[in-house]
Amino acid sequence: MTDTNPPITFDADVSDDAAVAMQVDILDIQAGVVGVTRLREWGHAALAVQPGEKVLDVGSGTGSEVRAMAELTGPTGEAVGVEPNPKLRAVADQRTTTTREWTRYVAGNAYELPFEDGTFDAVRCERVLQHLDQPQRAIDEMARVLKPGGRLTLLDSDWATAIVHPGDPEVARLCMEAMLTATPNPHSGRRLSGQVVLAGLTVADMGSEALIWPADIVTGMLLPMFVSTAQQAGFITTEQAARFATELQAAAHSGELHMSVTMFCALGRKPD
């Protein structure tokens, strides 16, 4: 169990069918976790998309939030998802039915959005910036494609706030260090408001929720990946990995397991 689980990556160039299927599974699972649904609702309320508006989701994955915004724009508006991975765009396309006529998914990269300046009334970007080496460059691009007075929401985790309990605290700390090292922008959550300001926008509000993973998802999927990533990177030994995994499996059975991370959402507004 501890040496056969590749770390999940959301790099733009993931093309292996099994790896993409794993990405889709994880995105679908996260979409059903209470903390994510609550912060998404907060973000959509803050963005306040109106009928007839033109809106964008950057790094749109399976397209769930593009479709949520399309319901709000209605057919007099347009909802666009930018997603570099063609296999995720295909999943998003396939899942788009009722809003099909005013929804589209386009190939593109957050660093060079394929749109003119001032195209969109509202832009959102969720759990993408943590995967980027140059998050400020991406946020500057989002600010560029917003109309004057337009709104932006950025939603991301801050991995230094992750909690794994119980189990050997030193092994937990080392696993977390491996996770921080493997993530290009692991402290994304705490940086969001400052980056919105650096992009020339004002911060109008901030929201936050903890993503608390259900125990069956931890034991079935996250724990094996979490532990094997740390082991493969040399942060913990095979023995430590096996013992830690056993401790957390037991905690899941007894009801003591807790694994969470804090997510933040910044609402920015472009000056008129």
Among 7, 74, 84, 166, the residue binding ligand SAM under the rule CB under 6 A is 84
Length of the chain counted residue by residue = 272
- Does residue 89 belong to the site contacting ligand SAM (CB under 6 A)? no
- Does residue 61 belong to the site contacting ligand SAM (CB under 6 A)? yes
* Binding region for ligand SAM (CB under 6 A) out of 66-74, 81-89, 194-202, 226-234: 81-89
Residue 263: name the closest of 37, 15, 22, 21 by CA.
37
Residue 135: name the closest of 161, 166, 156 by CA.
156
Placement of tokens 């493997």 in the chain: 182
Alpha carbon of 252 to those of 1, 63, 121, 220, 259: distances in Å?
A: 17, 32, 45, 11, 10
The C-alpha atoms of residue 39 and residue 45 are separated, in whole angstroms, by 10
- Does residue 27 belong to the site contacting ligand SAM (CB under 6 A)? yes
- Does residue 80 belong to the site contacting ligand SAM (CB under 6 A)? no
Task: Count Cβ atoms below 10 Å from residue 177 Cβ, excluding itself.
Answer: 14
- Does residue 7 belong to the site contacting ligand SAM (CB under 6 A)? no
* Binding region for ligand SAM (CB under 6 A) out of 54-62, 156-164, 183-191, 195-203: 54-62
Residues 6+ apart with CB under 8 A from 239: none
The site string for ligand SAM over 209-248 (x = CB under 6 A, - otherwise) reads: ----------------------------------------
Q: Which is nearer to ligand SAM, 66 or 259 (CB)?
A: 66
- Smallest separation, CB 62 to ligand SAM (Å): 6
Placement of tokens 């004057």 in the chain: 148
Tokens of residue 108, six digits: 């593109």
User: Which residues contact ligand SAM (rule: CB under 6 A)?
Assistant: 10, 12, 27, 58-61, 83-85, 88, 109-111, 126-128, 131-132
